[in-house]
Amino acid sequence: MPNTLMAHLGMEVLEATKDRVVMTMPVDSRTHQPMGLLHGGASVALAESAASLGGALNVSDQGKTVVGMEINANHLRSMREGVVKAIAEPIHRGSTTQVWQIRIVDERDRLVCISRCTLAVIQNRGRMADVTPTEH
């Protein structure tokens, strides 16, 4: 998705279905905090991006989309380099809200961050109208 935070931080979509979204993000100078570690805000951006993509896939055929309402994250493991992977799966898919759990793991599948994101379902008025499921 060019010209977005996702592109700027180097996020890539590996899998995108209504039931699961898998995305990666490099741990490098774009995503570091001043101490040279993965910035918690970068992890949260990855988590919300994955949840939002999955949420949008669930409602795009209804002329709706989703926006973030609330997100929390527990940062459990630090990283200085490599790639993190977010795996987002829905916990609740209602008519006005969705709740997604996002696990962010390192290259050895160790948990780096666990997050939960609540999305509001709204009428689509913009760019996400052409969202379709893909799997790589």
Tokens of 48: 């919300």
Please indicate whether residue 15 is annotated as part of the active site.
Answer: no
Closest C-alpha among 115, 106, 117, 108 to residue 37:
106
Which residues, at least 6 apart from 54, have a Cβ–Cβ distance to it below 8 Å?
16, 17, 18, 19, 20, 21, 88, 89, 90, 100
Q: Which of 15, 48, 81, 107 is catalytic?
A: 48
What positions carry a catalytic annotation? 48
